[in-house]
Chain A
Amino acid sequence: MTPLAFAEKYGFHIVVEGAGGCRDIEGAYCCDLLSMVMGRAKENDAFVTVMANINTIAVAVLADVACVILCEGIHFDDACIARAEQQEVCVLETEESSFAVALKLGKELGLC
């Protein structure tokens, strides 16, 4: 399932479509420590976090994840959104918790 299809199905806000929006989500990684994400998130993962700063976008690009899903109603500021648009990073936002998002991703990935 692509990030855009996932967002539409569960009513998440699509902040930036980017190139990632149309990639298939192949896994998920939930974490707010960006160094840990760098080392452990896999290509085409959905990266689920509450960490909303410009480095979040840099990590998403370098780890080559399919999308960033920002939880708990937290928003990226305009500079982050501009960077995400420039770097073609798909960004979704939701009011839900990381755990609730992880459950939905697990269901769509056939893991639970």
Chain B
Amino acid sequence: MNGLKWTYEVDGSDFTRAGEASSNVKKNLRKLGVSPEVIRKVSIALYEGEINMVIHANGGKIDVEMTPEKIDMVLADTGKGIPDIEQAMQEGWSTAPDEVRSLGFGAGMGLPNMKKYSDEMRIESTVGVGTTVYMTVYIK
């Protein structure tokens, strides 16, 4: 069954605009009467994804699809890729530059938070080609 779909381009050049997609999805889900807990999970997982795309991949594309059962999110970038996904998933592991750290990010919490707040998460990444993160949050 086809659900509601939203697509966002993430601008990789402006760190302060990261969060526009997640804020917009949050607004849409609220209008649709989705429970606050589901909205919170989706918003946090997406925001961390957006931040990662800005920090590491110079932006990318986010597709969100909602059905009565679940919300699927696909975050695709053409950045430098993740050489060791297992290492990247460890809390505290970070390759973010200092200027990002000074803004309160880059603490190695992004991917762990995405995993924590999604019900399912899968990462496909090829060094030099890009990374795609698939996340699902169940509504029921």
B52 → A minimal CB distance (Å): 10
Is the Cβ of B107 less than 8 Å from the Cβ of A62? Answer: no
Of the residues A43, A51, A64, contact of B104 by C-beta under 8 Å: A51
Contacts of A51 in B (CB 8 A): 103-104
Q: How far is the CA of A55 from the CA of B104 in the complex (A)?
A: 8
Is the contact region of chain B dominated by helix, strand, or loop, or is it mixed? helix
- Complex: chain B residue closest to A37, CB-CB: B104
In the complex, whether B19 has a CB less than 8 A from a CB of chain A is yes
Of the residues A39, A43, A53, A63, contact of B103 by C-beta under 8 Å: A53
If A61-B23, A64-B36 touch, whether A36 touches B44 (CB-CB below 8 Å) is no
In the complex, whether B40 has a CB less than 8 A from a CB of chain A is yes
In the complex, whether A102 has a CB less than 8 A from a CB of chain B is no
Contacts of A56 in B (CB 8 A): 104
Category for how many chain A residues contact B: 20 to 34
Q: How far is the CA of A37 from the CA of B47 in the complex (A)?
A: 12
Q: How far is the CA of A33 from the CA of B113 in the complex (A)?
A: 13
Contacts of A35 in B (CB 8 A): 48, 51, 104-110, 113
B contacts, CB < 8 Å to A: 15-16, 18-19, 22-23, 26, 36, 40, 43-44, 47-48, 51, 103-110, 112-113, 116-117
Q: Enumerate the 3 nearest inter-chain pairs by beta-carbon distance, A residue then B residue, closest first.
A: A35-B109, A34-B104, A58-B19
Report 26 cross-chain contacts, Cβ distance below 8 Å, ordered by A residue. A33-B105, A33-B109, A34-B104, A34-B105, A35-B51, A35-B104, A35-B108, A35-B109, A36-B109, A38-B44, A38-B113, A39-B116, A39-B117, A51-B104, A53-B103, A54-B16, A55-B103, A56-B104, A59-B104, A61-B19, A61-B23, A61-B26, A62-B19, A62-B23, A63-B44, A64-B36
